[in-house]
């Protein structure tokens, strides 16, 4: 492990704290891609919920972190996005994936959290909708239903998302998405992933947070969910 201080281990608690985006001495995704996912997260999920040869899908794969980790672990992988930055990525809308029903063993997704990052000019990009609007969750629920369609029964997915505090207003984006997910899936667990290297991690922002009485975002949620068979004892809890 040349490039980072943390060893690759299967995490044993619900608090995951990774000091760097990448592990090892090969790239996994592109750490210059805005919103890139820490490769450790995907590595951990694939260790727990997949086996060699399984088909892994990322419907919003950006720079392809999922692609690189899955290939390294001898999983089959299909990665989609509207913003194509490398040849392994297939152009598709996450709400309409070119995949058969019940054909996928695991899905990882790190969706936009709001309209804070410009990913592409594609009008279908969900990152053009503010998380302060109901429409944002309506569109993410369509992505969730597409994940349900393509996943095999009793298989898992992981969804990474963070909350928003902007212009003196907090939006609990994670809870609002989770409310949609539990309509369709069973919850396996919820992981708290420490945020690092964000632009607000500077002395001036820490000073402002104390002076003006707000909190900087310190974590993201990783929802681990399971598609249960129709005849199981899954109950909606609301
Ligand atoms: C947080 S980034 C993903 C980062 C990625 N996991 C990586 O490691 O590079 C979110 C991605 O969602 C994509 N996206 C937004 N709306 C989409 C849609 N409707 N269909 C497919 N991809 C979409 C964006 O283009 C962006 O690349």
236 versus 112: the higher-pLDDT residue is 112
Q: Is the CB of 81 under 6 A from ligand 1?
A: yes
Over 60: is that where the pLDDT of 4 sits? no
Residue 77's H or E segment, with its range, is strand 76-81
Q: How far apart are CA 78 and CA 151, in angstroms?
A: 13
Q: Are strands 164-166 and 169-171 parallel, antiparallel or unpaired?
A: antiparallel
CA of 127 from ligand 1 middle (Å) equals 8
Of the pLDDT bands very low, low, confident and very high (cuts 50, 70, 90), residue 77 is very high
Model confidence at 200, pLDDT cuts 50, 70, 90, reads confident
**CATH classification number, 15-226, choose in 3.30.1600.10, 2.60.40.1260, 3.30.420.40, 3.40.50.150:** 3.40.50.150
Phi, psi of 219 (to 5 degrees): -155, 165
Residue 155: how many CB atoms within 10 A of its CB? Answer: 20
The CA distance from 121 to 118, in Å, is 8
Q: From CA 108, how far away is CA 45, in angstroms rounded?
A: 8
Question: CA-to-CA distance for 66 and 130, rounded, in angstroms?
Answer: 25
Ligand 1 centroid to Cα of residue 142, in Å, is 15
198: pLDDT confidence band, cut at 50, 70 and 90? confident
Listed by start position, the domains of the chain span: 15-226
Q: How far is the CA of 210 from the centre of ligand 1 (A)?
A: 33
For the chain, first and last CA: distance in Å?
46
Whether residue 164 has its Cβ less than 6 Å from ligand 1: no
Per-residue pLDDT tens digits for 110-135:
999 999 999 999 999 999 999 999 99
pTM, two decimals, is 0.95
pLDDT band at 3 (very low <50, low <70, confident <90, very high): very low
- Model confidence over 16-72: pLDDT tens digits? 999 889 999 999 999 999 999 999 999 999 999 999 999 999 999 999 999 999 999
Q: Give yes or no for residue 162 CB within 6 A of ligand 1.
A: no
Q: Is the CB of 35 under 6 A from ligand 1?
A: yes
Residue 39, ligand 1, Cβ within 6 A: no
| Mean pLDDT estimate for the chain | 94
């Amino acid at each position: 492990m040349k490039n980072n201080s943390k060893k690759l281990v299967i995490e044993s608690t619900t608090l995951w704290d990774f000091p760097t985006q990448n592990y090892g001495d090969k790239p996994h995704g592109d750490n210059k891609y805005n919103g890139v996912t820490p490769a450790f997260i995907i590595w951990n999920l694939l260790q727990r919920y997949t086996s060699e040869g399984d088909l892994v899908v990322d419907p919003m794969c950006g720079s392809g972190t999922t692609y690189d980790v899955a290939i390294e672990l001898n999983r089959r992988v299909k990665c989609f996005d509207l913003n194509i930055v490398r040849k392994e990525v297939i152009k598709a809308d996450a709400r309409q994936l070119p995949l058969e029903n019940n054909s996928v063993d695991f899905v990882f997704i790190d969706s936009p959290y709001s309209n804070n990052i410009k990913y592409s000019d594609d009008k279908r990009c969900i990152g053009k909708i503010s998380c302060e609007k109901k429409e944002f969750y309506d569109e993410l629920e369509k992505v969730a239903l597409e994940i349900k369609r393509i996943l095999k029964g009793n298989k898992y997915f992981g969804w990474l998302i963070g909350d928003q505090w902007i212009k003196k207003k907090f939006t609990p984006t994670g809870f609002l998405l989770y409310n949609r997910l539990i309509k369709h899936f069973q919850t396996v667990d919820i992981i708290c992933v420490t945020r690092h290297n964000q632009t607000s991690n500077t002395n001036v922002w820490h000073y402002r947070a104390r002076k003006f009485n707000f909190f900087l975002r310190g974590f993201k949620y990783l929802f681990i969910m399971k598609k249960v068979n129709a005849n199981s004892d899954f109950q909606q809890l609301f």
